[in-house]
Amino acid sequence: MNRSNPVYFLAFLVAIVAALGGVALAKGGFYIGKHEGDTLHMVEIIFRMVAGEIPHLDFVTPIGGLAFAPQALFVTMGYGIGTASMLAQILMAIVFLPMVWWVGIGRLTPAISAFFGLVIMVLLLALVHGEAERSTSISMHYNRWAWAAAYVAIVAALVPPVHPRNAVIDGAIVGVMLSALAMIKVTYFAAFALPVAIALLLTGQRRALLVSVLTGAIIFAGLTLWLGTGYWLAYLGDLLTVTRSDIRQMPGDSFDAILGAPAWLGASIAGILSVVFLRQSRAHTAGLVLLLLLPGFAYVTWQNFGNDPQWLPLLAILLFAFMPPQDMTNGLGWNLRSATKLTAVAALSLGAPSFFNLAYSPFRHYGIVTEDFSPLLPRGGVHADLQTAQIRAMRVDARIALDIEAMGLARYREGANREETAIFLGEHLPTCALEIGLPSVFDAIARDMEEHGIGRGEPIFVADLFSSILWLYGDFAPLLHGAPWYYGGLPGYDEARYLVVTHCPVVQEVQTRVLNAITARGADNLKEIRRNSVYTLYEIL
């Protein structure tokens, strides 16, 4: 194999980090064009960690602490949350760089290693989660980071090293990457850990497999000594909460759609053909492991918002790494080298819209007109460097039901198949869901409470998807054991001093479930103390 030049490859990786990371920082802040709610979810978790709270033990989240620890580090150092988010991505890219370099120079040709490194650095440094919609966003950054770790682990395990062959380094890299998956988003670990272990075993990397297991065990033991055994039980509890929840089990299409719907059928066909061509070209181990990986690819794609098949560039990398000889044919007389190459090109083509959206998102972000943006946290001080599109922050739009008596359309309601809203304390809540303007609504509620001298320094529970987030907008306390993103139950409600019921929630179904749960356990201890056109406030006695 024609190996990559170690110096050139290293320089290439450093140049990518400098270019993508540098242009992101050069804007002087982070300007998001969508996903304000997801961003607030991230911000609350980071601020909680900065204050000394530990994920899972002190608040509910199915996302691992490593997804937010780098940002928390830079916020602790005094950076605004916008700048800290970008610095965190650069830090992750720097940490990944030597491992990507090692895997690339020992397993891949110069061209393939360059593409391998490019894709991973883009995943780590992009300013959008994927898909083809061009607005910038930091939401779901952990999905990109987890894909990057999966790329490194899978290529290191499946593509046998040529030289230098060093089982200790190879195994340590795989162990670190799998541990990172477990500590970023455990669904990736569940999807890929077994295929990676089988790949190491079947490719003769038994010592590397042993080292990877030992590396993971050392990391696990270290975290246990630091955080205690209760941390893992709490993490498992959060994962089970999400698994049992029917609020957001699949943030997109159904699993069968991910396999066979028009938007994804091409990817499924490319994956199946890849297995067939690898097996026919006598790359039996690669074909078998890829067959084991495909369900994990589909599962992670199904489980992630947007259902973005980020595994397609990885599929192309593997196909190029196992390209058969020029003269090899199958039983139908097809030239397997050509067939494999065409399948790899098809995978690249199918993944191109998302990849290019990721790749030039920092440059697109640099060209944003900052006058069109306003702080996501209006009174955030140094954290005003995280801004959102003004039209999405200041324009408050909602989706309401018009099949009501006042509109003369009530006769059509029976066939509308509309979910009933809650009847809370004898009041039937209106059908209304907030579309945009989330920052303005939270800011208005916080300011109104402060103007009336209510809730200063107290924890507040909001009957909505963002049940514990109001403290980011006013002088209130974080909700201990709250959930920055609601998945079920009443997390943190027992610690709350006040209950906020918005008249137009973000997710009506969530509000209904929360209020029904409160009613079921008894609402006699609630006293209404404030009501306006935006919300009703109850004191929890």
Q: What is the DSSP string of 469-500?
A: -GGGSSS-B--TT--SS--SS-TTGGG-SEEE
pLDDT digits (tens, 9 = 90+) for 11-69: 999 999 999 999 999 999 999 999 999 999 999 999 999 999 999 999 999 999 999 99
pLDDT of 1 > 70? The answer is no
pTM for the model stands at: 0.95
DSSP for residue 525: T
pLDDT of 243 > 60? The answer is yes
Domain assignments of the chain as residue spans, ordered by start? 1-249+360-392, 251-358, 396-540
pLDDT digits (tens, 9 = 90+) for 517-537: 999 998 899 999 999 999 999
Question: Chain-centre distance of CA 349, in angstroms?
Answer: 24
pLDDT of 249 > 60? The answer is no
- Strands, sheet with 373-375, edge to edge from the N-terminal-most edge strand: 30-32, 386-389, 373-375
pLDDT of 248 > 70? The answer is no
Structure tokens at 369: 């007109």
Beta strands in 252-324 (DSSP E): none
Residues 6+ apart with CB under 8 A from 253: 261, 302, 307
pLDDT digits (tens, 9 = 90+) for 456-496: 999 999 999 999 999 999 999 999 999 999 988 899 999 99
pLDDT of 250 > 70? The answer is no
At 164 the pLDDT is 58
pLDDT of 187 > 70? The answer is yes
pLDDT digits (tens, 9 = 90+) for 67-98: 999 999 999 999 999 999 999 999 999 999 99
Sign of the CA dihedral with 226 first, then 230, 235, and 238 last:
negative
CA-to-CA distance for 336 and 162, rounded, in angstroms? 23
At 448 the pLDDT is 95
| CA-to-CA separations, 244 to 149, 387, 521, in angstroms, rounded | 27, 35, 20
CA-to-CA distance for 202 and 173, rounded, in angstroms? 18
pLDDT digits (tens, 9 = 90+) for 405-447: 777 787 777 777 777 788 899 898 988 999 999 999 999 999 9
Indicate the SS3 state at residue 34.
Answer: coil
At 31 the pLDDT is 96
